[in-house]
Each structure stands twice: as structure tokens, then as C-alpha cells.
Chain A
Amino acid sequence: MNNYQLMITADDKQVVLERILQVTRYRGFLISGINAKVNTGTNIGTIELLVRSERPIELLVDQINKLIDIKEVKVDNSAS
């Protein structure tokens, strides 16, 4: 199992967390931790996602990136 940390920024829509969690589970990544908050001024949400999987992280990054409300997905390589 590899551990990865993702930093996701997204439009603040009620459903966006559900979408991220659904895609993460479906694509074969287990969630070890999650931290989400919204900047009420900009209506931009930031989600920190700790995941683990046998699969390469690019698979998940590409799928989350496709979600319409997502602005950016970054992988923090320092997690292992």
C-alpha cells in the first residue's frame, strides 16, 4: 500500500465532497484522513485527502480533476 496526500481546491458546492469521496472509493483508494474547509469570502473549498492504495495516484488525480467543480488537485509527495 502506498500513502498519498492530495490537496484539492474546489468550488464550494454542497455535493462536492460526496463526489470526491465517491470517486475515491470507486477507483480503489482507501481514505486514511480528510480535512475540509471553505473560505466563505471566495467560496472556494480546500480539501486535504490522505489516501492509500496499490494503484498509482495519477489514476485518482485524473479522475478527480474531471469532476466539474474541481479547480485543482495537487499531490504532496512528502507523504509516504
Chain B
Amino acid sequence: MTTEKKLTGAGLLFNVLEQHGVEHVFGYPGGAIMPIYDALYDSKVEHFLCRHEQGAAFSAVGYARASGKVGVCFATSGPGATNLITGLADALADSIPVVAITGQVATAAMGSDAFQEIDIFGLSLACTKHSFQVTDINDLAKVLHQAFAIALEGRQGPVLVDIPKDIQITEVNRSLDELVNLENKVKLPPANVGSAIALLNQAKQPILYVGGGVGMANAIDELRDFAKITGLPSVSTLKGLGAIDPEDENYLGMLGMHGTKAANIAVQECDLLIAVGARFDDRVTGKLNEFAPHAKVIHFDIDTSEINKRRIADASILGDLKVNLPALAIPLAIKPWQAVCHEMNNNFAWDYNHPGESIFAPAVLKEISDKMPENSCVTTDVGQHQMWAAQHMVFDDPSNFLTSAGMGTMGFGIPAAVGAQVSRPTDCIIAVSGDGSFMMNVQELSTIKRFQLPVKIVLIDNAKLGMVRQWQDLFFNGRLSETDLADNPDFIMLANAFDIKAKMITKKSEVSAAIEEMLEHDGPYLLQVKIDAQENVWPLVPPNTANDKMMEST
């Protein structure tokens, strides 16, 4: 007969994870987290071994973004913990609920420069929403509950819990605390509903400016109803894509540095800007004091600190979008303005004519978008391919387009796709990557192999750090510095080494069949799409320029 094992701090961790409905975690073991990996053995939680802690953090982010659940990642102390930091920063910038658990050296050794000791708690201050270091076993359960509550409450974000090794092995009693729901910590002032309604009624040329907050608030239906009832012409940020119904006739597309001409001109001409879960990011506004220069602003958000941060709001509507959007959904008399916007949409539609044999990436991405199954989820890396995906693919939900928006982190796409696929095993997950970004977390192909994840990778290969090359050509007198990747590895051989089926295409005539083969393939697949290195992303609003002064070609 076996005697019942005593519950330890490590075991308690898994009990709390299970209590919060956590089924999957992404991580990498090491000395200071070994008791947790030992307790994993007895837990129902399924662990996905990534091949770098950054991969684990991004997989947790992708998991959270694709599913709406909290993403969880584990890392050991020292280098394991520091490797998480980029992923946490990314989650902070995009407000993604992630709980990161790090092992720490034993409390007695802390502060002695012990082996693999780093002050991750100190390091976490600038890259998490909140963080904890547990130094008393009696605090462990409460801290873990708080970590989940804080990750999800108000504006969501990453929380780190650092657990010293001795706490992991200390025995605890078995009873579990009740789950508690946290209220939004910051007490919100009452919404200026009256003045917002007055602004709406006065406006002749209003624009709805939709950000990532809509998806985070799970307020897509409320937003679409609001757009329909008001009839507002709308634009979206990169992270907001998918919130507005892409079929909405008043939708003008993405705004900002690589936004559509229609969206940027409409915003510059509008007399009222209704910002919903958006934060006037510099990639959206261009030159701030020339952004929407004639507009009054109504600002909806859950985070008080976003109001008046970069643009003064004439009316602020703080709180839950699910409640506040319906309160302002009134029909507006803006027919002439709608007509102006429709005309711009027609006049400035994308042009897919592209001379010559070489493959046109925007057309490839559009074709993938047209052919991919319903409820596919696309992740991207960062660069030209990312902007082309945002411009030319169509998304009907923000959880179907995962891109590193606020941080712009290369290396995001592949591990985020891993997380997305784990959370949605039957949906088609497509990672659109670049030849530079792909190499930043290429080790995660091993995770794809290990778990036989049927992720489809579309590698837009210009043998360049294309976005930087574009800027060097346009703004640095063509002085190309360290952006050539002519010595890239053989990507097909590389994929094959991980048991991933792969194919390279170089000509337009090969595109359609290759896309179909990829989408029909039952398993992971890499499609390497060779494109001309000189292709640029258009339109482009040059840095520190008003958004209507966009460049459309060289």
C-alpha cells in the first residue's frame, strides 16, 4: 500500500490552476522549478514543452488571444525567467491575460547571487501588469488566485508569480480557497453620456475608431449593433481588426501608418472621432497634433489612464463597453457623409494588378484569406508581411488575427500559432511569417513536431529584413545596412528536418495550386513564397507626418 503523498506548494499550484480551469500550460523546466515539474506528473494539466522560454511565453499569449482564456507559462529561475520577458512585454503592450510562473532559488539563498538567481521580481515591474514573489507558503494560494483575477480584471494583462524552491516543497493543507472575483481596481468616474449624445447629434462627419479593447471586452456584438444603429463610418487599428463586421458597408479598413487611403482621409476630415477601446498609438496617429485636426473626441475605455493621455477627450465614457456602447447607440442623420465614405471606398479599393512573373504577396495573402476555412486563425510575425496580412486578409473576429501590435515583436508568429492551435485543435491555424522573423523562434518547429500540430506556415521570403530595408531605401538614402538575408538557410530542408512538409513557389502561376495543397494537407505545412526583394508596403505615412500625406509608391 502506498501512503498518501502530502500536498506541497507545488501540488497546491496545480490545484489552483485546475480550480481556474487551466488545462494547458507552456513551459521549460530547470533546477529551481523542478518540484513544480515533479508535481506536474500527478496533475491533470497538460504541459507543452516549448524549446525556448520566449516560445513558451508567446504560446501562452497566442493561446489566450485565440481562446479568450488566461494563458499560462512556466520557466525556471535566472535565464529561464529572463527569457520570458519579451513575451510578457508583448502581453503588456497588447493587454493579454497571461500568468507566468517562475521558479526561484530557495528563500535562504535569495540575495546571495546564487546559481541561476536573478531578481525577476524586480525585472517584472516594467513588463507586467502586476507581479508577486511568494515568501510564505500560507500566501501561495491567495497570491495565485489574485494573479488570475488581476490578469483578467479591467484592462487585462500579464501577471508573474515568482515561487522560491523551498516554498514549492513545503507541505500545506489541502483545503482550497473559494474563487473571488475582483472588481475593477480603479473606481471609474461616471460616463459623460449626456455630452457624448450631444456630440453625436451635432456631428456631420463622425468616424468610429475601433481598437483592440473591443475584442478584449468581448463586446463585438455590442460594437456591431452600435455601428449598425448609428450608421457610423468606421476604421480599425491593427489590433482591432475583426471587431467591425468586415461586410459593413460603412467600414473603411485599417487606419494609421499603413492604413487604407479611405480610412486615413476620412479620419483627417472627420468632425467627431468616437474612439472605442483604442489608445491613439503613434502608429495610428502619425503626427499627433495634425491627427484628425477638426475632430471632437468621445473616448470609450476601461482604463482611466488612457483618457487624455495622447488626445484630450471632449467626452469620456469609462467602463464596460458591453454596457456603455448600447447606451449611446442612437440613429444619426449622416447620409451625405456616408456617401462620401462609400465613394472613397470605391475609389481607393486595393489594386491587385501586378505586372510580371514574380509573386505579389498581397494577392497571395488575399487568396489565402478567400480560401481558408471559416473560423481560421491567422498569426503573423513583424514586418512587411505583417502589414500585407493586415491589409489584404479579412477577419471576422479579433481572436482570428493574432499579431504583435503594440510591441511589434519579431518571433511572435510561430509560437503564437502553437498556442492558438492548442487552444483550438480543430480550427485551421495559419502563421504568416517573414524570413527574418521566422528565424527568431525557429526552434518552435520542434514543438510543432512534438505535438503534431497541423499549423500552416506561409513564409513570405524576400531574403531581406524587408520593412527595415524599405525604410533604408525611403528615408536613409538607400544606404542598406545589415538588412540583406541572401544567406538564409534552405527553408525546405529546415522544415523537413522537423517532419514538416514544405514547398517553395517562385512564380505567380504556382500560387493557387500551392495554397490549395497547403490548406488540404492534413498536418503541419510550410509554404515558402519567394517574392521580389524590392516590393514595398503601400500606402505609407512617413514618420512624423499627417496621415493624409501618405506615400503611395516611390
Given A68-B130, A68-B150, A18:B308 Cβ within 8 A: no
Report the minimum CB–CB distance from B338 to chain A (whole Å): 36
Q: Chain B interface residue count: which class?
A: 10 to 19
| In the complex, residue of chain A having the shortest beta-carbon distance to the beta carbon of B187 | A65
Interfacial chain B residues near A59, Cβ < 8 Å: 305, 308-309
Q: Chain A interface residue count: which class?
A: 10 to 19
B122 within 8 A of partner (CB): yes
Interfacial chain B residues near A54, Cβ < 8 Å: none
Interfacial chain A residues near B308, Cβ < 8 Å: 56, 58-59
Interfacial chain A residues near B121, Cβ < 8 Å: 15
A63 within 8 A of partner (CB): yes
B179 within 8 A of partner (CB): no
Report the minimum CB–CB distance from B337 to chain A (whole Å): 33
B126 within 8 A of partner (CB): yes
For window 294-315 of chain B, which residues contact chain A by CB distance below 8 Å?
303-305, 307-309
Q: Which residues of B contact A (CB under 8 A)?
A: 121-122, 125-126, 129-130, 133, 150, 185-186, 303-305, 307-309
Q: A58-B308, A65-B186, A66-B304 are in contact. List 17 more A-B contacts (CB 8 A).
A: A15-B133, A18-B125, A19-B125, A22-B125, A22-B126, A59-B305, A59-B308, A59-B309, A62-B305, A62-B309, A63-B305, A66-B185, A66-B303, A66-B305, A67-B130, A68-B129, A68-B130
| 17 A-B pairs (CB sep. < 8 Å) | A15-B121, A15-B125, A15-B133, A18-B125, A22-B126, A26-B126, A56-B308, A58-B308, A59-B308, A62-B304, A62-B307, A62-B309, A63-B305, A65-B305, A66-B303, A67-B130, A68-B150
Interfacial chain A residues near B305, Cβ < 8 Å: 59, 62-63, 65-66
| A20–B150 CA distance with the chains assembled, in angstroms | 18
Report the minimum CB–CB distance from A8 to chain B (whole Å): 14
Interfacial chain B residues near A19, Cβ < 8 Å: 125
Most buried by B among A22, A62, A65: A62
Contact with B along A26-58 (1 / 0, CB 8 A): 100000000000000000000000000000101
Interfacial chain B residues near A15, Cβ < 8 Å: 121, 125, 133
Q: Which 5 pairs across A and B sit closest by C-beta, in order of nearness?
A: A62-B305, A68-B130, A22-B125, A62-B304, A63-B305
Interfacial chain B residues near A68, Cβ < 8 Å: 129-130, 150, 185
